[in-house]
Amino acid sequence: MDFVHESVALGVDLLILGLCVREYVNLKRTAVVLKSAPQYNIDAELKTIVEKQRDKKIPYAVIRGTVTPIGVPLRSALVPSVSGVLQVVKLNEHRITRGFAGFWTEHHKLIHESANDMPFELRNQDYAVEIVDALSAAVLDTDVVYDNYEPSSLSFFDHVFGFFTGVRQKGLQTTEQVLRDGSFITAIGELEVDGQSLRMQPSKTGPLFLTTATKSTLIKRFEDAKSSLLFKIVVCSTVSVIIMGLIARKLYRKKKQLREEAKIRNRLDTERRERRARNRPHVLSQDQLCVVCSTNPKEIILLPCGHVCLCEDCATKIEVTCPVCRAKIESKAAAFIA
């Protein structure tokens, strides 16, 4: 496992790269559908326009109007003077945790979220479009009407406990966001005639937007996000290429090293064989010669059969069965015949 670090780094980098590419593709698709979405005024003609479309709906349209509750508006749970059509209350725990190197870093953790909404419409004088399923909007611009941070008072025991577990609570943050009635917003989604009224709902073409930004600002935001993602993609790809280069270099060096080692081993083997050949007795009777090459003396005992029938050179080539009795060779040893 010579490449553990490089492989882990490459894996993490490719994962980030994959996520960035996916995000980029999503952003690009949204930017394209957003650009091609037609914008309509909420007026007397809008209903006629939508009715003329297939299925009496426009798959992705942009409208702008004033948020108007249908019925009594919601009261903010934490700031009673504020009213709106949609509220989200979040409780976040701020905690510090001890990281790898022993440093304490701060984190947020959402521990409770509650959302409330009521029917509302976007109105322009006498004409209106009802907004359906506003909470599912991908972008939902709301006002933060309440934001309170309560630091925790930790006891001695909490400190000791935190020291050992590596997690310490710092405080609790409560926020409330409200889509106020009377705010002027842009809504982008599927526009449909439903009986007598018009409504806008989540679309299959693109995400639902309820935002204070105009269509062009929204497109610009998407373009900016796209360029920053593109930068990240370039950085991640470069890092991948560098890591792959490092792995390739390491592989090449390893191979080269193995080749050199084999070369040295071969040379030593040859030298040893030559040395042995020089030292061998030159006059041998037939039964003292190796049964395979009939040149060198018998030097190796095969086990378990016990036959001494091979020279050292031939013994390196014969590995499976004894050439005399065909018994399986389990081990070999040098034989010294005195």
Task: Name the residue nearer to Zn ion (CB basis): 200 or 314.
Answer: 314
List Cβ neighbours of 59 (8 Å cut-off, separation of 6 or more). 190, 203, 204, 205
311 binds Zn ion (CB under 5 A): yes
| 130 half-sphere exposure, CB direction, 13 A CA radius | 14
Residues 41/154, Cβ–Cβ less than 8 Å: no
Task: Name the residue nearer to Zn ion (CB basis): 42 or 314.
Answer: 314
324 binds Zn ion (CB under 5 A): yes
Calpha distance 18→35 (Å, rounded): 26
Among 172, 225, 305, 308, indicate the residue that binds Zn ion (CB under 5 A): 305
Task: Name the residue nearer to Zn ion (CB basis): 142 or 296.
Answer: 296
Closest CA to 186 of 281, 64, 87: 64
**Shortest distance (Å) from residue 266 CB to Zn ion:** 19
List Cβ neighbours of 319 (8 Å cut-off, separation of 6 or more). 329
Residues 27/207, Cβ–Cβ less than 8 Å: no
Task: Name the residue nearer to Zn ion (CB basis): 37 or 322.
Answer: 322
List Cβ neighbours of 195 (8 Å cut-off, separation of 6 or more). none
**Shortest distance (Å) from residue 286 CB to Zn ion:** 13
Task: Name the residue nearer to Zn ion (CB basis): 226 or 276.
Answer: 276
**Shortest distance (Å) from residue 263 CB to Zn ion:** 25
> How many residues lie near Zn ion (CB under 5 A)?
12
325 binds Zn ion (CB under 5 A): yes
What b/e readout covers 264-288, taking b as 16+ CB neighbours within 10 angstroms?
eeeeeeeeeeeeeeeeeeeeeeeee
Closest CA to 182 of 66, 284, 95, 313: 66
Site string for Zn ion, 239-278 (x = CB under 5 A): ----------------------------------------
**Shortest distance (Å) from residue 319 CB to Zn ion:** 14
Among 132, 292, 318, 335, indicate the residue that binds Zn ion (CB under 5 A): 292
Task: Name the residue nearer to Zn ion (CB basis): 151 or 306.
Answer: 306
Among 20, 46, 290, 301, indicate the residue that binds Zn ion (CB under 5 A): 290
Residues 110/92, Cβ–Cβ less than 8 Å: yes
Among 264, 268, 293, 303, indicate the residue that binds Zn ion (CB under 5 A): 293
Task: Name the residue nearer to Zn ion (CB basis): 208 or 322.
Answer: 322
298 binds Zn ion (CB under 5 A): no
Calpha distance 323→155 (Å, rounded): 84
Please give the distance of CA 330 from its chain centroid, rounded to a whole number.
52
Q: Which range binds Zn ion by CB under 5 A, 166-174, 221-229, 271-279, 310-318?
A: 310-318
Q: Which range binds Zn ion by CB under 5 A, 109-117, 204-212, 233-241, 282-290?
A: 282-290
Q: Which range binds Zn ion by CB under 5 A, 108-116, 239-247, 276-284, 318-326?
A: 318-326
Q: Which range binds Zn ion by CB under 5 A, 47-55, 109-117, 177-185, 295-303?
A: 295-303
Closest CA to 152 of 124, 173, 175: 173
Closest CA to 309 of 327, 326, 321, 297: 297
* Residues at the site binding Zn ion, with contacts judged by CB under 5 A: 290, 292-293, 296, 305, 307, 311, 314, 322, 324-325, 327
